[in-house]
Amino acid sequence: PKYFEAVMLVCFGLGWPISILKSWRTKYVRGKSVGFMLIISMGYLAGIASKLCDTHLLDNEFNHVTWLYVLNLLFVLTDLGLYYCYRNNHEPPEVGKTPSA
């Protein structure tokens, strides 16, 4: 059962590096939702808290799925940081498109 949770976290987490790379390359973040990223961050924090409060922690058995929550949280926080860095930037011109006069 914990393998399913790990697969879910990997699938959810795959989109964040793509989003980060797009923001980094274009320096443009219009359309991103700060509220959404904060809600996702709270969910990952709750997942981390759940794993840390798990009874296995008392037995010194660390649940490795916790690292997936941490990694995904770091991705979301990075994307959020890029949002604040680039939020006032104008949309980049499209490649191959000539500006109108």
- Identify the burial level of 54 via C-beta atoms within 10 angstroms of its C-beta, where 0-12 means exposed, 13-18 middle and 19 or more buried: middle
pLDDT tens digits, residue range 7-27?
999 998 999 999 999 999 999
- Neighbour tally for 75: CB within 10 Å: 21
Q: Are the CB atoms for 37 and 79 separated by under 8 Å?
A: yes
Output the CA–CA distances (angstroms, integers) from residue 53 to 2, 48, 60, in the order listed.
16, 9, 12
Give per-residue pLDDT as tens, 51-76. 888 756 556 566 788 899 999 999 99
pLDDT of residue 3: 85
Distance CA 67, CA 72 (A): 8
